[in-house]
Amino acid sequence: MINGAAADPALKGRPAHRLVDEAAPQLRVTDLAATRGDGVFETVGVFEGRPANLSPHLERLQRSARMLDLPELDLEVIAQAVDAAITAHLPVPELLVKIVVSRGVEGQQRPTAWVYADAASSYASARAGLRVAALDRGIPTTAPQTSPWLLAGAKSLSYAINMAGLREAARRGADEVLFVSSDGYALEGPTSTLLVKQDDCFVSTPVEAGVLPGTSLGAIETMVEGEGMTLERELLTPQQVADSDGAWLLSSVRLACPITHLDDQELTVDRELTERMNAAIANRG
Amino acid sequence: MINGAAADPALKGRPAHRLVDEAAPQLRVTDLAATRGDGVFETVGVFEGRPANLSPHLERLQRSARMLDLPELDLEVIAQAVDAAITAHLPVPELLVKIVVSRGVEGQQRPTAWVYADAASSYASARAGLRVAALDRGIPTTAPQTSPWLLAGAKSLSYAINMAGLREAARRGADEVLFVSSDGYALEGPTSTLLVKQDDCFVSTPVEAGVLPGTSLGAIETMVEGEGMTLERELLTPQQVADSDGAWLLSSVRLACPITHLDDQELTVDRELTERMNAAIANRG
């Protein structure tokens, strides 16, 4: 259930958040979030009451807003609303907090924003391992440079394709998707970042290829560098992912989930390393 | 303003519509329309109180719902809600009625649907002619066959790219967009169907190439066949569009708008033919 929804403001020069009734409808049917998927969002993992990697999430929200030509966001007000939503929720070990900024109600030229907290589902099965289907994402890794209006790498509310990808994966008997660019490179999951281990080097997809900047990667980088390894940005093919020493889909609430299978190919899984990674992501403030 | 919003039902086995207060919020912030752009929609033009081409719109809504794996819709209930929304609105010469079906509130596994009527803007300038920018749509015309999860040709609520295309067009000094496939063919506008005249033959984009089935094309076909001409489905390049004997972007509310320029190239404009086309679209019940 929602708890501690904080509706509206979050934009420069506007008043701070206000708490609203979680059970009541809050949005007009003409809000562009609902009519055009026209807005941006973030989902933050909250562990024992502490939001993990909040700064990277807020920075990415601002980045997405810029890519969609939305007004500059007041990240301080949003951070306060995140705190308020967490405080208003019953204390549970794992929460998710969703931050949404919409272009606003049609015709009003005034963005709307809201934040809500919800108890996280159980991700025990996903954290044990994912069967992943590789699916064509249609566009090439050059799209951000040649066609910025395709919004590759913006976390917009227009996620119908991401959701359709997950349904296609389920039809194939898989739990998750690894999107592949039309020029043949592994990109990211519909709601997750790809991380691959090759010997002592971890690799994630370059942001320039049109993926979201993974908000957990900073925590991973600190951890692997502390262990004498490195984190690089490099384009890999799905075959290179399958042949690696381990691969994960990282997301803020579900954390690092090892890929056990990419289509029909079985991957190496290191449970102990996965646990250390998850501790690193969840503990980072 | 909205008037005569009819919220909820529209799905088989569910009760008929109910009228709700247009000024009140109707949607939960966890409705998947607002969190994922996960739903489908139609916008119907209403002229002198009569919805134009309603059947093609309802058929296309059902088609889009199937492409998104939504439950089968009860089109009769939706048609009744459309009537109710029109009746509840002040009588104005031109209305638009929007029909939205969302996958529903997160976790409830129960779609939500609503219909609302709103007075149409003035489209005098667009109907006089549009400067159009050709923009890459990223994906090839083969996407519907190879990658149905990309939802090419489904009218989903995930329109952030369509809206970003329009902003890019404005930056280029244009009014509208003609999306072009990655294999080089003219597709459609962000909210419109392409129609091109070559001698006595009208041409529109084949639906198989990943465009929406244009709901005004039936009316156009009847009209042009009555005048001894034909309407064909064929892939054209942007250059063929620019070299044609006239091209239009068709939409249900704005009607047929002649393209005066495609990027820097000036097109032939036949105002008298455009007026006949608009009468044909608006009069068809």
Q: Render each residue's pLDDT in chain A as its tens digit; 285 residues.
A: 333 344 444 455 555 788 998 789 999 999 999 999 999 999 999 999 999 999 999 999 999 999 999 999 999 999 999 999 999 999 999 999 999 999 999 999 999 999 999 999 999 999 999 999 999 999 999 999 999 999 999 999 999 999 999 999 999 999 999 999 999 999 999 999 999 999 999 999 999 999 999 999 999 999 999 999 999 999 999 999 999 999 999 999 999 999 999 999 999 999 999 999 999 999 864
- In this complex, do B164 and A150 lie within 8 Å of one another by their Cβ atoms? yes
Contact list in A for residue B134 (CB cut-off 8 A) is: none
The whole-angstrom separation of Cα A40 and Cα A284 is: 24
Q: Which of helix, strand or coil describes residue B127? A: helix
The whole-angstrom separation of Cα B17 and Cα B20 is: 10
Please tell me which of the candidates A5, A156, A163 has its beta carbon nearest to residue B160.
A156
What is the average pLDDT across B76-93? 95
DSSP 8-state class, residue A207: G
Domains of chain B plus CATH, in order, are 2-119 (3.30.470.10), 124-283 (3.20.10.10)
In degrees rounded to 5, what are phi and psi of residue A98? -105, 135
Q: What is the pLDDT of residues B227-271, one digit of tens each?
A: 999 999 999 999 999 999 999 999 999 999 999 999 999 999 999
- Cα B139 from chain centre: 20
With cut-offs at 50, 70 and 90, classify the pLDDT of residue B17: confident
B195: which strand partners? B204, B248
Provide the shortest C-alpha distance from residue A168 to chain B (in Å): 7
In degrees rounded to 5, what are phi and psi of residue B152? -60, 125
Question: Quick check: A167 contacting B, CB < 8 Å?
Answer: yes
Supply the pLDDT for residue A1. 31
Which site among A26, A30, A149, A171 would you substitute to test the B interface, given the most B Cβ atoms closer than 10 Å to its Cβ?
A: A149
SS (H, E, C) B225-262: HHCCCEEEECCCCHHHHHCCCCEEEEECCCEEEEEEEE
With cut-offs at 50, 70 and 90, classify the pLDDT of residue B15: low
With cut-offs at 50, 70 and 90, classify the pLDDT of residue B7: very low
A188-to-A88, A165, A181, A185, A237 alpha-carbon distances in Å: 33, 12, 10, 10, 12
With cut-offs at 50, 70 and 90, classify the pLDDT of residue B196: very high
The vertex-B220 CA angle with B215 and B221, nearest 5°, equals: 100
Which site among A18, A19, A29 would you substitute to test the B interface, given the most B Cβ atoms closer than 10 Å to its Cβ?
A: A29
The whole-angstrom separation of Cα A192 and Cα A194 is: 7
Provide the shortest C-alpha distance from residue A6 to chain B (in Å): 10
Max Cα–Cα distance, chain B, nearest Å:
55
Question: Quick check: B143 contacting A, CB < 8 Å?
Answer: yes
Question: Quick check: A128 contacting B, CB < 8 Å?
Answer: no
Provide the shortest C-alpha distance from residue B160 to chain A (in Å): 5
Question: Quick check: A25 contacting B, CB < 8 Å?
Answer: yes
Question: Quick check: A33 contacting B, CB < 8 Å?
Answer: yes
Looking at every residue in chain B, the average pLDDT score rounds to 93
Please tell me which of the candidates A5, A168, A182 has its beta carbon nearest to residue B149.
A168
Q: Which residue of B has its CA nearest to A64?
A: B160
Q: Which residue of B has its CA nearest to A190?
A: B36
In degrees rounded to 5, what are phi and psi of residue A250? -100, 130
- In this complex, do A27 and B24 lie within 8 Å of one another by their Cβ atoms? no
* ipTM of the modeled complex: 0.93
- In this complex, do B164 and A147 lie within 8 Å of one another by their Cβ atoms? no
Please tell me which of the candidates B118, B139, B163 has its beta carbon nearest to residue A36.
B163
